[in-house]
Chains A and B, each alone.
Chain A
Amino acid sequence: GAGVSQSPRYKVAKRGQDVALRCDPISGHVSLFWYQQALGQGPEFLTYFQNEAQLDKSGLPSDRFFAERPEGSVSTLKIQRTQQEDSAVYLCASSLVGTSQETQYFGPGTRLLVL
Chain B
Amino acid sequence: DQQVKQNSPSLSVQEGRISILNCDYTNSMFDYFLWYKKYPAEGPTFLISISSIKDKNEDGRFTVFLNKSAKHLSLHIVPSQPGDSAVYFCAASVLYGGGADGLTFGKGTHLIIQP
Contacts and interface: CB of A to CB of B under 8 A. Distances in A.
Interface string A24-42: 0000000101010000111
A44 B99 contact: no
A103 B35 CA distance: 10
Interface stretch (B38-46, B61-69, B76-84): B38-46
Contacts of B4: 42
A4 to B, nearest CB: 7
Question: In terms of DSSP, what is the predominant structure of the interface of chain B?
Answer: strand
The number of chain B residues touching the other chain, given as a range, is 20 to 34
A86 to B, nearest CB: 19
Chain B CB count within 10 A is highest, among A4, A48, A95, A104, for A104
A62 interface: no
B25 interface: no
Contact of B101 (A41, A48, A108): A48
Contacts of A91: 43-44
Contacts of A98: 99-100
A66 interface: no
B102 A50 contact: no
Given A42-B107, A100-B31, A95 B89 contact: no
Contacts of A33: 100, 102-103
Contact of B93 (A35, A40, A101): A101
A28 B34 CA distance: 22
B45 A106 contact: yes
A59 B102 contact: yes
A100 B99 contact: yes
B100 A41 contact: no
A50 B31 contact: no
B46 A4 contact: no
A75 B1 CA distance: 30
The 10 A-B pairs at the shortest CB distance, nearest first, are namely A45-B102, A42-B105, A106-B43, A98-B100, A101-B32, A108-B43, A106-B44, A31-B100, A100-B95, A42-B107
